[in-house]
A and B are shown apart, each in its own frame.
Chain A
Amino acid sequence: MSTVALSSHVSPRRLGQLFLREIAHGYRGLLVAAAAVAGSIIVIAALGALGRNMGGAPDGTVIGDNYWFYFQGLLFLGGCIVTSMAFREVWQGGGGIAYLTLPGSTLEKVVVKLLLTSAGYAVGALVLISATASVSEALDRLVFGVGHGFFNPFTPAVGQSVVRYVVIQSFFLLGSIWFRKLAFIKTALSIMVIAVALGILAGIALRIGVGPHLTAMGTGFGPGNGTGTMRFGRWSFQMNGTGLQDLFKPGSRGFAGLEAFKVTAEALVIALAPASWVAAFYRLREAEV
C-alpha cells in the first residue's frame, strides 16, 4: 500500500480530531451518568453499612466485596448499553449525513468508536469504581465503623473481566451499526437466539455422540457437585450415565477431546471480536442515508 493510499485510510491528525469530536459530544452525558452511578453506589453502600452497624457489627468489620459486583454491572451492562449507542447518529437523519460526510475514513471512524467504547470505557469504569469505592469506604468506616473492602483494580480477575467485556461489547458495536433502532435490545435478543440455537445443536451432537452412555446429563458453569461431575476450568459436566464417567475419565481420549473442544470453543468466541469489528467496518462503509 503506497503512502498516499495509507494516508487516505489513516491519518493521525484526523484520528485525533475524531477522538476530540467524540469526547466533546459525549462527555456531558457520561459525566452525568458517572455521577449518578457513583452517588447510587455510595448511598447503597452506606445503607448496608448502617444496617450492619445497627445490627451490632463491631468496628472494623468488612462485610463483603460489593464493589466487585458494581464493577461487573457497570462494565458489562453499562458498557454494552453505551456501545449500542455508538453509531446511533448514523441513523438519525441529518446526523447521519453530517457523520458520514465528516472528513475521515471509515476505518478511522470505526477505530475511534471501538477504542472509546472498549478500552476507553473499561478504563473509565475502573477509575470510576476505584474512586467511588475509596470515597465510599472512607465514609462508611468513618461514620459507621463498617466497610465493604477497597476495590483493587490491579487483580487478574479485573483483567479477565476487561478481556471478556471487549469480546462481548464487540457484538454490541456491530449491533449499533446494524440496527437502526433499539440496538441494545435487538443485539441482546440476537445473542440469546444464537446461543439457544447453538445449545440445541450441541445437545443434538452430544446425544448422537455419547447417547448410548447417557441416562442424564447436565452442563453448566460453576462448581458442580453432583455425582460424576467433571470440571474443566469454569466448565463442569455432570454425568450420571453408566459408563459415561469411564468415557471421559482423566487421561482418556474422551477427556482430551473435551478439553480440546473447550479450548477451541473459547478461541472461537474470542475470534468473534475481531470478526465483529471487521463486520462493523463493512456495515459502516456500506451505510446509506
Chain B
Amino acid sequence: MSFGYGRKKLFSGLDLELAPGNIYGLLGKNGAGKTTLLKLICGLRIAQEGTCRVLGYDPAARPAPMLEDICFIAEELAVPALLPRVYESLYAPFYPRFDHGELASCLKELEIPVDRKLSELSYGQKKKFLIAFGLASRCRLLLMDEPSNGLDIPSKSQFRRLLARAGGSDQVILISTHQVRDMENLIDPIIILDDGKIIFSQSMQAVGARLSAGIEPTEPADDRVLYAEKTLGGYAVLRESAGEEETTVDLETLFNAVTAPDGKVRAVFQAAVEASPSPSTPEGGAR
C-alpha cells in the first residue's frame, strides 16, 4: 500500500498483516505515519496505491458493517455535551456486540464521574471514558492512538489492567504509542514503522529467542554485539542469542536498536524470516 500527503510520499510499498487475538504495539518516530496508518485502516484516509482489506471489507468505502466492528480512539478527542448514560443510550446501539455491564465495570474502575457531562470532564477523563466505551463495544478491531497520553499515574495502571483482561481471541487491538514504558508487558507483537515501511514486526517471544539483553558496566566490543547504548549504570547491550536462557528485552532499547542506521538487529530477524517457510494468513485478520 502507498500513501502520501500531496507530493510527499509517506508510505511506499507498506505491507502489514494483523492476526486476531493479539494486542499489537505500533511504534515509530515522530512523523513516521503511525496515526495515518490507523486512519488508513479505518477508512479516514484512502490508500493511493495497493490494497487494504479490513475484516474483509475495503475501508475506503467505510461500509457500515465494517464500522460496526471497528472502534478508533483518536488522540484528538471530541465528546458531545451529554451525560455518560445518555451517550451510552445513543451510541451503544450502533455496536451490535456492545456490553453494557463491561462499560459500567470499566467506568467504575477508571473512576469516571457519571453525573457530569462528558464535555465538562478533563482531557484524561474524556480519554478514559472513550477507552471504556471502546473496550465495551467488543469491536473486532480496536485502534488506539496514544491511549496513555494525558492519563495520570493511577489511570495508567488502571488502563493496563483493563487492557490486559480485554482482547478476545477474535479481537485485534492495535495501539500506537510513544510511551513504551506504559505499554511494557502489554503490547505483543511489536510493529515498528520507519521511513514509509514496516521495518520490524515480531512477537516478544521471537525477540527473546533471538536476542539476548543485558546491562554491562563497560562498553562491549565483542563480535556478537548488535547494539549498545549508554544508560544509567552502564551499557544496555543486545547480542544475538546463542541459545542461552531467554531474557526480557526492554522496549525502548529494542526500538532504538531496530531503528539504528546499521540495521544489525533488523538483519538478524530478516535472516530468520528468509530461513523459515512463509506463514499462512490468519482467518479474519486485517491486511
Contacts and interface: CB of A to CB of B under 8 A. Distances in A.
A105 interface: yes
A17 B46 CA distance: 27
A97 B78 contact: yes
A55 B71 CA distance: 67
Interface stretch (A88-96, A122-130, A215-223): A88-96
B78 A94 contact: yes
Interface of B is mostly: loop
A102 B64 CA distance: 8
Interface stretch (B90-98, B230-238, B250-258): B90-98
B93 A104 contact: no
B244 interface: no
Contacts of B65: 8
Contacts of B77: 94
A14 B94 contact: yes
A71 B39 CA distance: 44
Nearest to B137: A103
A93 B76 contact: yes
A9 B77 CA distance: 27
A13 interface: yes
Interface size class of A (residues with CB under 8 A): 20 to 34
Interface stretch (A18-26, A46-54, A160-168): A18-26
B67 A102 contact: yes
B86 interface: yes
A100 B63 contact: no
B147 interface: no
B64 A24 contact: no
Given A25-B80, A94-B78, A106-B62, A101 B93 contact: no
B164 interface: no
Contact of A97 (B61, B76, B81): B76
Nearest to A16: B93
Contacts of A93: 76, 78
Contacts of B80: 24-25
Given A9-B64, A101-B72, A17 B44 contact: no
B229 to A, nearest CB: 36
A37 to B, nearest CB: 22
Contacts of B95: 103
Given A20-B90, A98-B78, A288 B44 contact: yes
A101 B68 CA distance: 9
Given A13-B93, A25-B80, A289-B44, A97 B72 contact: yes
A103 B67 contact: yes
Contacts of A285: 61-62
Contacts of A286: 46
A145 to B, nearest CB: 45
A140 interface: no
